[in-house]
Amino acid sequence: MFHLVRSVRELETKKHARARLDQARPLSEKTDVPLSPRTRALIRDALDEDVGRGDRTSQAVLPPGRKLGAFVAAKAPGILCGLEIAAAVFKTAPGVKVKVLSRDGSALVPGTRVLSIEGAGGAILTRERMALNFLQRLSGIATLTSHYVERLQGLPCRVLDTRKTTPGWRELEKYAVACGGGTNHRRGLDDMILIKDNHLVALAEFENPIGEAVRRARRRFPRLKVEVECDTLEQVALALRAKPDFILLDNMDVETLRAAVKAARSAKSKAKLEASGNVTLDSLRAIAETGVDFISVGALTHSAPGLDLSLEAAWAK
Which residues are marked as active site? 129, 164, 196, 229, 250
Taking each helix axis from N to C terminus, what angle separates 37-51 and 170-179, rounded to the nearest 10 degrees? Answer: 110
Please state, in angstroms and rounded to a whole number, the distance separating the CA atoms of residues 101 and 14: 12
Q: How many residues are recorded in the chain? A: 317
What are the CA-CA distances from residue 163 to residues 24, 301, 313 (Å)? 17, 9, 38
Q: What angle do CA 89, 103, 162 make, to 5 degrees?
A: 80
In this structure, how many other beta carbons lie within 10 angstroms of the beta carbon of residue 60?
Answer: 7
| Listed residue (147, 170, 139, 174) closest to 160, CA to CA | 174
**Alpha helices by DSSP H, 207-253:** 209-220, 233-242
Taking each helix axis from N to C terminus, what angle separates 254-266 and 281-288, rounded to the nearest 10 degrees? Answer: 30
Please state, in angstroms and rounded to a whole number, the distance separating the CA atoms of residues 290 and 90: 47
Helix, strand and coil in the chain, % to nearest 5:
45, 20, 40
Q: Specify the pairing of strand 97-100 against strand 113-120.
A: antiparallel
